[in-house]
Amino acid sequence: MLFNVPQFLDIEDKIFGPFTAKQLGWMGAGGVVLLILWNLFETSTFIVLAIIDCAIVGALAFYRPYNQSLIKFIMSSIYFMFHPQVYVWKRNYDNMNIRKAPAPVKKEKITERKKVSREKIKELAEILNQNNGKTSF
C-alpha cells in the first residue's frame, strides 16, 4: 500500500491568511491589552504604551531567533541561567608524555604456494572429462 507522507512537518498550519494560530493568539492578546490601556490612560500615555505593546507583541508573534519562537528562546535562556551547567572534562592523552606498553609482536605464519605442474593439470582435466561433468562426492 502507498501512503502519502507529509513533507513540511516543521511548518505550522496557516489559520487565517498568512498567520498561524500562535501568531493570531499573540495579536489577539495584544489587542486586549491595547483595549485595557485605552480605557485606563489618557491619549498621549496610551500612544506611548501602545507602541511598546505593539513592539512586544510583534516580536513575540513574528521574530524567530535560531528558527524557534521568541517565547521559547526566552524560556530556554531563563532555564539556562537558573539551572546548573554540567561541564565534563575529558583528559587529552595525545599531548601528554605517557609511556605506553609495547604492542605485542605477532608472528606471521608463512605459507608456501603449492606448485602444480602441467602434467598434473592435464591429469585432472582427463579425470573431469571422463566423468562428463558428473561430480561424485
pTM > 0.85: yes or no:
no
* pLDDT over threshold 70, residue 137: no
Structural domain boundaries in the chain: 14-82
In tens, the pLDDT along 27-76 reads 999 999 999 999 999 999 999 999 999 999 999 999 999 888 999 999 99
Residue 68 or 110, more confident: 68
- As given in the structure block, the three cell numbers for residue 64 are 524567530
Residue 60, pLDDT score: 94
What number of other Cβ atoms are within 10 A of residue 25's Cβ?
14
Which residues pair with residue 16 across a beta bridge? 19
Q: How confident is the model at residue 99 (pLDDT cuts 50, 70, 90)?
A: low
* pLDDT over threshold 80, residue 102: no
Nearest 10 degrees: Cα torsion 62, 68, 71, 75: -160
